[in-house]
Structure 1
Amino acid sequence: MSLATYLKAKLVPGDIEAHIERIRKPIGSLGYDPWGYNNEAIKYGFALTRQLYEHYFRVQADGVERVPAEGPVLIIANHSGQLPIDGLLIGYALASRAERPRIPRAMIERFFPTVPWLGNLLNEFGAVLGDPVNCAKMLANNEAVIVFPEGVRGSGKLYRDRYQLKRFGNGFMHLAMKYKATIVPVGVVGCEETIPAIANIKPLAKMLGLPYVPVALPAVLPARVHLNFGEPMTFDDAEVPEEEVTRRVETVKAEISRLIDKGLSERKRIF
């Protein structure tokens, strides 16, 4: 038995191997798709994420069955927690569901691909640079795509601003309309407490070329995470003024706010 085979047998349980094979994505002759996704790599990522999902963050996901099993989908959620833990957990919730599982693609911040090793690893797990062109290509390919319209405004927010939604851009709505993509809103509760930041060192962030450098504990806290998936939303592709596009974005944002409030009201304790 080769070392690679031995490690795979130890690190990837048989049920995960079978599950990923059931929903594997098409890849090229070298084992990757055009954006770097790899069916074998995600098995290791899936095994690790299961431990975090079930035992560390003890995620409760409600309504994940509402995400369509096929066709272009935009999974729109609030962003928080300094690191993209929310996207990882949303992706696992959808990929691990018992009925009609689906491996989504996640749009990630521009600075992650610049980090040695990490950028390639995220690509292998299905993440894609958060660019409108990439998102459009994903939707044209009938992918489910996780998007955080707040961007770094959300992920880098301070603890005192937790669960206060920042401005949503209109880009995702234009893409949903153009590609007739279903929008599924998600309210994420718990990630705000995983890496609570009390300040952002802006001069250092600018010097390092990073969107933010938080003042926070050098640890990821085991907060319980609640994911509430809302009802699917669709919007026609008729030509409308930008004010109407903004109104539609605000409709999605209001639903995410409602789902966040639902999660907060249902939460019994933070840890």
Structure 2
Amino acid sequence: MSLVSFLKSRLIPAKLDEQINRIRKPIGSLGYDPWGYNNETFKYGFSLTKPIYEKYFRAEAHGVDQVPAEGPVLIVGNHSGQLPIDGILVGYSIASREKNPRIPRAMIERFFPTVPWLGNLLNEVGAVLGDPVNCARMLANNEAIIVFPEGIRGSGKPYRDRYKLQRFGNGFMHLAMKHKAAIVPVGVVGCEETIPAIANIKPLAKALGVPYVPVAMPVVLPAKVHLNFGPPMYFDNADLQEDQIEERVEQVKAEINRLIDKGLEERKRVF
């Protein structure tokens, strides 16, 4: 038995192997899609994420079946926690659901692909550079895409601003309208407490060429995570002024805020 076969037999149970194979994903003859996704690499990532999702963060996903089973979808949520833990947990919840699982794509910050090996690895498990052109092409390919319109404004904010939505960009709304994509809001509760930061050292971040350098404990705390998905939202492709686009964005933000409040009410304790 080769080393690869041995590792696969240890890390990827036959049931999981079959489960991922059943999820339709258009890949080329070499095993990759146009954005670098690889089914075999995803299986390893899925297997490693399972105990993190179920045991470490004890994540609970409510309403995950509201993500449409097919067609272009933008899963739009609040961003927090310094690291993209929220995106990983949201993605796993959709890929592991019993009925009509989907393998969503995640839009990542431009910093990650600059790290040696990391960019290619992220591509292979479904992440894609957060570029409007990439997003548009994937929506045209009927992909489900995880988007955090706050960007680093959300993930890098200090703990004192937890669960306060930061400014949303309007790009996701333009894309949803143009490609007739459903917008599924999701409220993430728990990730704010995984790596609480008291400050961001902006001069150092600028010098290092990274999005932010948080002042925080160098550990990921096992906060319990609640994911609440809302009903799909649809917006027609009307010819609107930018302030009217912003009104639609505010509708999405209001729904995410409602789902965040729901999660905060549901949780009995932080850890």
Report the counterpart of residue 124 of structure 1 in structure 2. Answer: 124
Q: Distance in 2 between matches of 1:56 and 1:34?
A: 33
**Residue pair 1:74, 1:147 contacting (<8 A) in 2 also:** yes
Q: Indicate the percent of aligned positions where both proteins have the same amino acid.
A: 77
Q: Show the counterpart of 2:91.
A: 91
Which structure 1 segments of 5+ residues have no match? none
* Contact 1:186-1:229 at 8 Å conserved across structures: yes
1:45 to partner: Cα distance: 0.2
Q: What SS does the corresponding residue of 2:183 show, helix, strand or coil?
A: strand
1:193 and 1:221 in contact (8 A); partners too = yes
1:213 corresponds in structure 2 to 213
Q: Per-residue deviation at 1:7?
A: 0.7
Contact 1:188 1:227 in 2 (8 A): yes
SS in 2 for 1:233: coil
- Using the TM superposition, give the Cα deviation of residue 103 of structure 1 relative to its aligned residue in structure 2, in angstroms: 0.3
Counterparts of 1:65-214 in structure 2, within 5 Å, are 65-214=65-214
Moved more, 9-18 or 250-259: 9-18
Q: Return the TM-score normalized by structure 1.
A: 0.99
Does 1:42 pair with 2:52? no
| TM-score of the superposed pair, with normalisation by structure 2 | 0.99
- Distance between the aligned counterparts of 2:16 and 2:8, measured in 1? 11
Q: What is the match of residue 6 of structure 2?
A: 6
Q: Which residue of 1 aligns with 2:261?
A: 261
Partner AA of 1:46 in structure 2 = F
SS in 1 for 2:61: strand
Give 1:72 deviation, angstroms. Answer: 0.3
- Where does structure 2 lack aligned partners over 5 or more consecutive residues? none
- Secondary structure of the residue aligned to 1:19 is helix
**Native 8 Å contact 1:24 1:39 kept in 2:** no
- Across the aligned residues of Structure 1 and Structure 2, the Cα RMSD in angstroms comes to 0.7
What is aligned with 1:16? 16
Whole-Å Cα distance in 2 between the matches of residues 188 and 180 of structure 1? 25
Cα deviation digits, residues 202-260 of structure 1 (max 9, x gap)? 11100000110001111111000000000110000111111111000000000000100
The alpha-carbon deviation at position 24 of structure 1 amounts to: 4.2
Displacement of 1:29 = 2.1
- Displacement, 1:119? 1.2
Secondary structure of 2:74's aligned partner: strand
Return the offset for 1:131: 0.6
Which deviations, in whole Å up to 9, do the C-alpha atoms of 1:112-165 show, x marking residues without a partner? Answer: 111111111111000000010000001000000000000000010111110000
